[in-house]
Structure formats: C-alpha cells, structure tokens
Amino acid sequence: MGDKALLITNEHGKGPFRHYTTKGSATQGPWYCGIMFLLFWAVLFFSIVIPLFFRLPIVLHPEEDSGKGKFIGERAYKTLNELNNIGPRVTGSDANEVDTINFLLNEIVDIRANMLEEYFTLETDVQITSGSHIYSSLLEMYQGVQNVVVKLSSKNSTSESYLLVNSHFDTVLTSPGASDDGFMVATMLEVLRVMATTERYFEHPVVFLFNGDEEMGMQASHGFITQHQWAKNCKAFINLEGAGGAGREIVFQTGPYHPWLTNYYKKSAKHPFATTLAEEIFQSGLIPSDTDYRIFVQYGDIPGFDFAQMINGYVLHSKYDRIDVIPRGAIQNSGDNVLELVWALSNAPEMRDTNAYRTGHAVFFDFLGLYFFNYTEDTGKILNYSAGVVTLLLILVSACRMSAFSNLSCCQVMQRLIILSVIQIIALVFAMGIPLTIAYVIDSFGLSLSYFSSTYLIIGLYICPSLFGLSLPTMIYYQLQQNVSKQSFN
C-alpha cells in the first residue's frame, strides 16, 4: 500500500487530514506521556535554572584582604549598614547635605590613609552645582546640589582620558534607600579602597562620582557632566543603580553605538548577567523610569554601562528598602564584577579616543550566568535574516512534501499554514491579554504588589493563564476540525 493510501481526505480534497495507520501502529502514546514531558521540564527548571539564577558567591572577609586586589564583601556590607543608619537622605535635608557628605568624606580620608602613595594619587572635590535641564516634558531647575567627586590616578599615568563611575546617595522621602542606591555607593567605596591599596597599574584615571540628587530628576549628574572640571575628560562611564538588592546585578543598557564595551564586560565579569532584551524594553518606554545613564549619554556624549540590582523590586522607594533584605553575597557579586570591569576599562586602549570606535549597537546576553555572548548589531542582522530565510525554505519544503503525500495542492497546503499562523497570532494575543486583564483586576482592588508576598504566586496569577491563552485558540480550532471530520466521515 502506498503512502497516499494512508491519507484520506473528503471527496473535494479540502477536508482535514485524517490519518489511518496500519495494524499495530499507534496514533498517540499513553495519556501520561504528556504529563511526564511537562514534569521533566519543570524539574529541569526548578533544579537547574532557578538555583543558577539565585546563586551568589561566597562573601570575603577583611582578614582575607592580602593586597591582592580582592573585593571584600563583608567590609562593603558594613559600610552599607553605616550609610543606611543615617536614614532617608532626601536632597535638601541635613541627612543628605551634611550627614552623608561627612560620612563619604570620612570614608575617603580612611582610604587615603591606607593608600599606596608611591603608586597612586587621590584628589577629592565637593562640588556644589546649580543649573537646569529638560526632564521628560518638564524644565527642571536646581540650585546648591552637592556631589562628592574622587579621582584616583596612577602616578606615572599621563592619560587625559578618564573613566567615570557613578552612583547616587540620595533617597526618596519614605525610604532609607539600602538598595536604591546605598548598595552601589558602598560598592563604589570598596572598589575605590581596593584599587588604592593594590599594586596594580591602570593607565586611565578613574573618577568616582557620588552624586547627591538623582531621585528629583537626575540633577546632580547633570551638574557634574556639564560643569565639573573633570567631566570633559571622561570618555566612558559605569552607572550603578538599584531597584531591590537581593541578588545579582543586571546590565540592562550599554553603548550606545559602542559594542567594544561588551567585549570588556565579557572578559572581566566573574558573574555575568545581562540581556539586550532588557535594554529594548527599558528604552522603549514601557518601564516608566530613568537613570543617570541617559544624562551622561545625552549631555556628555559618552558611552557606558547601566547596571542595576533588580531582585525584590517591590522594596523600591518604600520603607522596606532596608539592609536586612540584602544578602551579603549580593554585594560580593556586584563588587567582583564592577571592580574587574573598572580595572579592565581603565587600561582599555579604546579609552584614548572612544569616538573612533563608534560603530553600532551590541547584542548581548548571558546563559544561566555561566557564559556571556555578545556580537555586533550587523552580525545580529545577518543571523536574523539567515534564520528567517532558512525558516521560509523549510516551510516551502514541508508544504511540497505535504502536497506530494496527499491529494492537496501546494496552494491548499499553504492556505492551511496561513490559517494556522493566524491562529497562533490570536493565541499570542490571548497569552498577553489574559494576564494583563488579571493584572488590571488586581490593581482595581488595590492589590498591585500582592504577588510579592510569594514570588511563586506569579506562576498561578500570570504564567498559567498565559499558557492557557496560548493553547485555547489551537484547542478550539482542532476541536472544530474533529467535528467537521466526523460529519464528513458519516
């Protein structure tokens, strides 16, 4: 019996495919095979992906500091605790403009006292700045905003290209700001301390900007990049932000138009965590937020990185943004990455003239934090177009094979494929629409952040309804096809 005899359609050749098999063959496996398949992937996800996502390095203690250039997480955590004890550091308050400034200056004095003076020079400046800039659709004007700025240089360095590292020490009114952005302030202080006490040369000076006003519209960073004497020499930057500090920090913006930056992240980051998808989402405006990254790019015309803590984001700008929600391993993770990246960029030959390397965007992502992939935008286009062409060719070959083994023409097969494609588009709309509807209903009851009480609630509230919406149109279509098939057979 030929293959065509196994495929029977209705008399017009337009009915659904009905497969008849020879004796002893089976059209489907046991009912439990589907469940076992789902369980396999669920076990894989919870036993490998989740542990790798939340894993953190072992925290190093001060007694392990032997001048070998290691980030000491326990010391940085102690610094964060002291900063956090100041309380909310709102711009204009004594806590911001007196207590925090004195705290930072005292930390810098301590670093200077232990610095290897035969290797490095350290300069400190408290900038008081005033100015104005456009933020969103508003004209913002500011006066008397303070920055604590530190420049660390190798003594034999003659480079006029500086690397800028930035974080902000101000907070919103209701929050002590442990993660936003005290976490990164403490990280920067420890990076400065390690670099100043390690016999490791770096060509380009590093400017550490502790800015005093980010929450009110990124005014302090604007004041620095447009007015400070060192700003014109800054050729690249690393911006350090926070939106919850319970895990690994993510690189969610880089560049723009400087793919060479991701090469250095790949070489230096001990615990990579980055994705271009986050960059696309953030820059699309879907997330109503902004960072000092935009200020440096827009007003300084320099490329850089945007890092942020993101786990436990529900604490952002709330009274719950306390140090007790931050594990010590998180600050060790961020410190390991930032320290090595600062050292790498401070020796990068591209820093001498970054404009010469302005070539395009970068595509980047990590695989479970184990490996980092990056390539240029042009390479990404080639890969995407190639994948698209191969996919279309495979569809055409499949359509021809379907036509060859049935009495349907290629046009009829393609017609069915188009119908199935439309169904999948409808399924995608359902998969997005149902969770959004649930979110709207929850918001209307004033329970917007209820799922943060247990992150696994996300599975029941959003993931399961999304999967249901994804499968519903296909299920309805095939049910209708079965009914038509039964009527035709009868």
Q: Is 136 left (phi over 0), alpha (psi -120 to 50) or beta?
A: left
Q: Is 444 left (phi over 0), alpha (psi -120 to 50) or beta?
A: alpha
Among residues 441, 204, 241, the alpha carbon closest in space to that of 343 is found at 204
Q: Which residues of 71-105 are buried (b: 16+ CB within 10 A; e: fewer)?
A: bbbbbbbebbeebbebebbbbebebbbebbbebbe
Roughly how many angstroms between the first and final C-alpha of the chain, as a whole number?
A: 24
Query: DSSP alpha helices (H): ranges in 45-89?
Result: 50-54, 73-84
Q: From CA 122, how far away is CA 153, in angstroms rounded?
A: 7
Q: Which residues contact 400 (CB under 8 A, 6 or more apart)?
A: 410
Strands (E), 28-161: 120-135, 138-154
Q: Is 29 left (phi over 0), alpha (psi -120 to 50) or beta?
A: beta
Among residues 138, 217, 135, 213, the alpha carbon closest in space to that of 171 is found at 213
Catalytic residue among 107, 190, 203, 214: 214
Q: Which residues of 153-168 are buried (b: 16+ CB within 10 A; e: fewer)?
A: bbeeeebebbbbbbbb
Q: From CA 385, how far away is CA 367, in angstroms rounded?
A: 23
Q: From CA 355, how far away is CA 168, in angstroms rounded?
A: 27
Among residues 89, 111, 101, 110, the alpha carbon closest in space to that of 193 is found at 111
214 is known as an active-site residue? yes
For the annotated catalytic residues, the residue numbers are: 214
